[in-house]
Amino acid sequence: MYASLETVFEDFGPEASLNDLLNRRLELRPEVNGRFRDNVSSGYELRLTTNITENWRLSLNASKTDRTVSNSFSKTVPFIGLIIGDDGRALQGVSQNGTIPDPDDPDNPDANINNYEIDGGAYTSDGVISKMLAYESQLPEGQTFSTITDNGTRSFAQSLQEAVDEYNGDIEVFEKRWGLRPYRFNVFTNYDFKEGILKGWSVGGGYRWSSANIIGEENGVEVEGEEISVADFLLRYRTSRGAIFGGDGRWTFQLNVSNAFDNRKIIPSRLAIDGNTSYLIPGGRGIAYARFDLPDPRAYRFTVTYDF
């Protein structure tokens, strides 16, 4: 590897060689999938910790979160040359305009195909689409991108129209708050025994709640999934200094139990058919879901620490 890098620097020079190499690589391999979309999260969080007594502590945490998704396919869009309007959707540069005789069956007066018109101004001049449209003049006589077919099924113009429509449809789906749980609340309490037979022991428990996840949308109204409620447990024993193995140190043995009641109820995370609540499972079995989440099962964690 060192020899290869040394050779590169000899060929391109020690100063700008790496930049030249990276720029050439970017030219040959554009990062069309480099960024899928931008996520911006904002919200509020409240934390409160109090000692109810000298031995008893209580912690509260509550939050509200919102998320905005934008700029989907931010590397792909300029590469292929789409122009995004003020509404965030790509301009549709293809329109259908009646029918024309099928060039593959010119002698049949009943053989017509849909005619499409392409507006080159709907795409950037340096994108892949515009560069492709520039080759129309090189097609055989009588053929255009509106007539030449792809595997005998559709013209290039129709394929382009469908691709832009699909992109705009994806924007409708991707730039939503799906998966977000806007509200969360956690409470945890802990009691330390500092005298008597239980001296050195601590016991605690907590409750975690998250509001229902957003799993789809219909007619501008968000559809919610299920809330999450989980209980946790803590048991700890801390020795006095020098109680084990001598010395000035102190040992702590702690057991944490997450999801103490082992709540394993599956949680719907996405409606089927891109959020269409009218799509029902045959047999009257309710709304169809495309994806589920499985909660983490009950888990134990035992830790031993020594401080000195």
Task: Tell me what percent of the residues of the chain surpass a pLDDT of 90.
Answer: 31
Domain end position, chosen among 134, 155, 174: 174
Same domain? 62 vs 184: yes
Q: Report yes or no on 16 lying in a domain.
A: yes
Q: Report yes or no on 229 lying in a domain.
A: yes
> What residues does 235 pair with on adjacent strands?
203, 255
Split into its structural domains, the chain has a count of 3
Q: Which pLDDT score is estimated for 136?
A: 82
pTM for the model: 0.62
pLDDT class of 200 with cuts at 50, 70, 90: very high
**95, amino acid identity:** S
- Nearest CA to 234 out of 257, 252, 207, 260 is that of 257
6 pLDDT more than 50: no
Same domain? 92 vs 161: yes
CA distance 19 to 1: 19
Same domain? 55 vs 150: no
Structure-model confidence comparison of residues 175 and 184, the more confident one: 184
Please report where in the chains the tokens 């084990």 appear, as a residue: 244
Q: Report yes or no on 37 lying in a domain.
A: no
What pLDDT digit, counting tens, does each position of 30-86 carry? 554 445 677 778 899 999 999 999 999 999 999 999 987 777 777 788 888 999 888
Q: Hey, which bits of the chain come out as E strands?
A: 38-51, 56-70, 94-101, 112-118, 149-150, 154-155, 183-192, 201-210, 214-218, 221-224, 228-238, 250-258, 267-271, 289-293, 299-307
Q: Report yes or no on 265 lying in a domain.
A: yes
Same domain? 243 vs 300: yes
Same domain? 83 vs 125: yes
Same domain? 191 vs 295: yes
Neighbours of 23 (CB within 10 A): 11
Q: Report yes or no on 41 lying in a domain.
A: no
Q: How far apart are the first and last CA of the chain?
A: 47
CA distance 308 to 241: 8
- Nearest CA to 268 out of 179, 183, 170 is that of 179
Q: What tokens appear for 240 in the block?
A: 């006095």
Q: Report yes or no on 40 lying in a domain.
A: no
Please report where in the chains the tokens 């509020």 appear, as a residue: 44
- Nearest CA to 142 out of 86, 115, 103 is that of 103
CA distance 38 to 40: 7
Write the DSSP symbol of residue 129: H
Q: Report yes or no on 36 lying in a domain.
A: no
**281, amino acid identity:** I
Same domain? 157 vs 291: no
Structure-model confidence comparison of residues 67 and 276, the more confident one: 67
Q: Report yes or no on 42 lying in a domain.
A: no
188-193, Cβ contacts within 8 angstroms, sequence gap of 24 or more:
188/58, 188/59, 188/232, 189/56, 189/57, 189/58, 189/59, 190/56, 190/57, 190/234, 191/55, 191/56, 191/57, 192/55, 192/56, 193/55
Asked if 231 contacts 206 with a C-beta cutoff of 8 angstroms, the reply is yes
Same domain? 227 vs 131: no
Write the DSSP symbol of residue 136: G
CA distance 289 to 135: 45
pLDDT class of 29 with cuts at 50, 70, 90: low
Same domain? 63 vs 168: no
Asked if 45 contacts 60 with a C-beta cutoff of 8 angstroms, the reply is no
Same domain? 165 vs 258: no
Same domain? 93 vs 57: no
Residue range(s) defining the domain that contains residue 260: 47-69+177-307
Domain end position, chosen among 174, 209, 237: 174
Domain end position, chosen among 174, 208, 227: 174
Same domain? 56 vs 200: yes
- Mean pLDDT within 281-297: 80
CA distance 218 to 216: 7
